[in-house]
Structure 1
Amino acid sequence: MSDPTPAADRLGTARLATLPAAVARPGYDRSKVTPGIVHLGLGAFSRAHLGVYTDDVLASGATDWGIVGVNLRSPAIVDALKPQDGLYTLLCRENGDDRLRVIGAFLDVMNAATELDAVLEAMAKPEIRVVTITVTEKGYCHDPATGRLNEAHPMVTADLADPMRPRSLPGLIVEALRRRRDAGVPPFTVLSCDNLPQNGRITRAVVARFAQLRDADLGRYVADGVAFPSSMVDRITPATKDADRATVAAGLGLNDAWPVVAEPFRQWVIEDRFPTGRPAWESAGAILTDDVHPFETMKLRCLNGAHSTLAYLSVLGGIETVAEAMADPLLPKVIRQLWDDDIIPTVPPVPGTDVAAYTRDLEARFRNPGIRHLTLQISSDGSQKLGPRLLAPAAERIAVKNAPRVVPLTVAAWMAFLRQGDDQGRAWLVADPMAARLTAIAREHKDDPAALADALFAVGEIFPPVIAGDAPFRKATTQHLRSLLDRGLAATLTAFLFR
């Protein structure tokens, strides 16, 4: 996104001193900060989370942990932030209270699609000791059902054919690591900040396998010498709207081409394995631990699972945001049953955390009217998200002879969502790496709920045998799907809650 705004009217280093007193800004000299991190994936979440934690570390006096931000595909975010010297505004919203903070942790921004040589050169520098990632689940080029590299993925096959000009996440990381190895530079640590279960394990699996396919020695080097800690990240960050830009411009007295919006809450739990060092993120409130798994399980299932359930049901009902969904007379009751019956019993003990209390806090966060988190935005990439968020806990309940109650309703709503419209004239697009295949199935069986359910349950990349082969789960899903298609959302939820 190019922006014709004159430099005099644009956020940038030269204008920091002119900001109103109420606007927080970097309390350190950015000219004295050097990069220590390359971050891959410049979406809103990374800038509302990683950028803020790291900004706090720099404010405490560290000078060697600035971030070089890299977007892998679209140049839009780079075009927006480059003229601003990497600065952007965090708009923190809660119940009508807006607070502005300019973040200075990103020292430079680049686009891998057009600046590949510069990106690889940056990643190969000895001072870069950590590479962080937020590219969403589909960016890992993996098979969600197994966690392994999808060796037939078009970008993977292209990168293996031309490994020094990579386009995929694993290809980019492996080429940067090869350059470091050949130059005698120790490998950086690779830290995933995406909503994947055991994201460090998955990142290691896809990167090490790609390296092995490229060169056996390189594969051993990556598998044996590179650290891939896991982390759990939590902050609700809706997509930035023009109205948000207007709010920020009014508060700054300057234009910011791409601010980020977030709730006040934030949490980061990190497995503490960084052989070449890391920022003191714990000084900014992060939790460093030996085992992230309980925290990530709680968050993926309780927060993200509830979000997915709200998203698919809400899109079917024409409800645009999570806060509006939580104002519905029926949907909050469905989410409470999801937590109580299907999710909380599957969450392992979490140090220092009452999981039931965590879900009550989530309910309050979901109701925040200042956060316009679009249900259609949350609905994206369901083929990647349903498994870790909802099908995994459902499988655990099935294994102990406790049939999940709400997950079949969520799956039915997702199946109906794939039809990309309803009888009331509403229409939407399915954003998913498997969209072409899934929507084709939905078109073929759009008027036959049983056939539609059977065809989708046969997609093994999404549904493991323990789910697809469980007769009660399939029966409940099909019944809910038929009700959603024949009777609509309100009647379906009423029958579900009060039967």
Structure 2
Amino acid sequence: MSAPRLSGVADITGPVSLPGYEPSQHGVGIVHLGIGAFHRAHQALMTDAAIAADGGDWRIVGVSLRSTEIAEALNPQNGLYTLIERGEEGTTARLVASVSRVIAADPAATLEALCDAAIRIVTLTVTEKGYGIDRLTRLPDLAHPAVAADLANPETPVGVLGLLTAAIARRRAEGAMPFTVLSCDNLPENGALLRDGVVGFARRIDAGLADWIAANIAFPSSMVDRITPASTAETIAEAERQTGRQDLAAVESEPFIQWVVEDHFPSGRPLWEAGGAIFVDDVVPYERMKLTMLNGSHSMLAYSGFLAGHRYVRDVMADPAISALVQRHLTAAISVLPPLPNIDLVHYAAALLARFRNPAIAHETFQIAMDGTQKLPQRIFQPAVLALQADRDIRPFAFATAMWMRYCLGETDTGVTYALRDPREAEIRSVLTAGSRTASTISDALHRLPRFFPPELVASSKWRRIVETILESTLKKSVVDSLVLEAALR
């Protein structure tokens, strides 16, 4: 029989660490769009530490834009949840109290929350595809369903750009303090990109409002890093062992956590330093390091590992061939990065390898592989262009691209089929069905996807030749055999 449901700090009977404050004594100051597992293991945790250290009305109103699942898990628990950290040295747990409540799939209620004068910061983890911004033009993507709907009905927005623009407009009219908008997604210069998207959206409705947003709303950039696997039945079971209560919102993560933030918060901010956040004048170099090294190698090992039959990252790293290729990828990534103050890139690479090998973390390759068309441009293609221009080794980036292309076929060597879980999945399947499935035709079709590959790569015969050679090996031999051959070349 399950234990009673978690609902208050006083319920706790287990060894979990408790919040260093009384939640009811602190009001809200943040709305977070996209309250998934990552946010609860990262920004919400640091906000919890900030309130414990420095007080303040900084609790969070979470928003799940499409699903009711998180709200159904958190609201009956008064926002409380267990964060479990699993490392090689053991497992620890902490009860987090920074979330006040969750709004679920309710655009009108979300807009009301954003317009609350008490809200001083809006944070976001909506994934790359959730913004509705064309990364090449840095303007709203008019083909994005939410963008199109919100431009047609700006008073009743449902998407990120529409909600932010409508809230800013109403707060301006009511004389409320402008909030700061902080993106926490893996996008290059995420703050500047979101600023351009919001200003571009507003300009299609009201040019004066667009100019006011550009002059008055802060959009600092940030770089986030913490491996957060999807919760499992074992996560819930461990939370019950730690708390003595049933916790349906429990999450788990690795011990490592990093948050580098541009320090520009005109309306104030929590003391996130208490949770380990680093504030800097320019996030871009740190962001580029993380996207190129961690995220790039993560995508590469996810596609190759999944196709080789490995469910978890830790299993991939136990495969000698793929492990060697991950090390090769990190070496290539370092070669295109500038020196970074106070960061040793070789040591950072070694730390990444150790994190990937962590036997306590069950991070699924299939989870990492989703949304490839949103991730590869900044993780793989951008460093590939830099390597090509500098006449450095492009093969590691071409290998990652070829493995993504092989993944796009939607079937393993053993005949297991799967969904790509990509916003452009229908388009990908259409172009691949239209022609024969040779390496050259697959490569050509995917290189022709609009607004995806940089023109420098599309036009490079050297790049195309390497990609197609690797892809052909996976088609004529097998993925496993191709990985062994590729590792022998490093």
Q: Does TM-score exceed 0.5, indicating one fold?
A: yes
Structure 1, unaligned runs of 5 or more: none
From 8, 16, 21, the counterpart of 1:23: 16
Please say if residues 413 and 479 of structure 2, whose CA atoms lie closer than 8 Å, have aligned partners that are also in contact: no
Q: Give how far 1:467 is off.
A: 0.8
Please say if residues 232 and 268 of structure 1, whose CA atoms lie closer than 8 Å, have aligned partners that are also in contact: yes
1:11 aligns with 2:6: yes
Comparing 277-286 and 467-476, the one that deviates more: 277-286
Which residue of 1 is the match for residue 280 of structure 2?
289
1:77 aligns with 2:70: yes
Which residue of 1 is the match for residue 454 of structure 2?
464
SS in 2 for 1:406: helix
SS in 1 for 2:451: coil
Please say if residues 130 and 160 of structure 2, whose CA atoms lie closer than 8 Å, have aligned partners that are also in contact: yes
1:250 aligns with 2:245: no
1:404 aligns with 2:399: no
Distance 1:440 1:250 in 2: 49
Q: Percent of aligned pairs with the same residue?
A: 42
From 89, 92, 97, the counterpart of 2:90: 97
Q: Give how far 1:452 is off.
A: 0.8
Give the letter for the 2:485 counterpart. A
1:126 aligns with 2:117: yes
Please say if residues 14 and 242 of structure 2, whose CA atoms lie closer than 8 Å, have aligned partners that are also in contact: no
Give the letter for the 1:9 counterpart. P
- 1:11-410 map, 5 Å: 11-13=6-8, 16-20=9-13, 22-95=15-88, 97-111=90-104, 113-114=105-106, 116-340=107-331, 342-410=332-400
Q: Give how far 1:118 is off.
A: 2.7
Please say if residues 403 and 473 of structure 1, whose CA atoms lie closer than 8 Å, have aligned partners that are also in contact: no
Distance 2:79 2:289 in 1: 34
Q: Give how far 1:185 is off.
A: 1.1
Aligned residues: 489
Q: Give how far 1:57 is off.
A: 0.7
Give the letter for the 2:431 counterpart. I
Distance 1:479 1:332 in 2: 21
Please say if residues 130 and 278 of structure 1, whose CA atoms lie closer than 8 Å, have aligned partners that are also in contact: yes
Distance 1:44 1:492 in 2: 35
Comparing 147-156 and 23-32, the one that deviates more: 147-156
Distance 1:80 1:18 in 2: 17
Deviations 1:6-32 (A, max 9, x none): 9x811111xx22423521111211111
Please say if residues 14 and 243 of structure 2, whose CA atoms lie closer than 8 Å, have aligned partners that are also in contact: no
Give the letter for the 1:20 counterpart. T
Comparing 365-374 and 420-429, the one that deviates more: 420-429
Distance 1:64 1:184 in 2: 20
Give the letter for the 2:319 counterpart. D
Deviations 1:136-186 (A, max 9, x none): 000010123343321232211110111111111000111111110110112
Distance 1:319 1:278 in 2: 42
TM-align CA RMSD: 1.5
Please say if residues 322 and 487 of structure 2, whose CA atoms lie closer than 8 Å, have aligned partners that are also in contact: no
Q: Give how far 1:498 is off.
A: 2.0
Distance 2:14 2:250 in 1: 19
TM-score by length of 2: 0.97
Q: Give how far 1:442 is off.
A: 2.6
TM-score by length of 1: 0.95
Distance 2:436 2:238 in 1: 43
Structure 2, unaligned runs of 5 or more: none
Deviations 1:278-328 (A, max 9, x none): 111123211111000111111111100010000110111111111100000
The 4+ residue runs of structure 1 with deviation greater than 4 A are none
1:438 aligns with 2:431: no
* Alpha-carbon distance change, 21 to 10 in structure 1, aligned in 2, over 3 angstroms: closer
Give the letter for the 1:73 counterpart. R
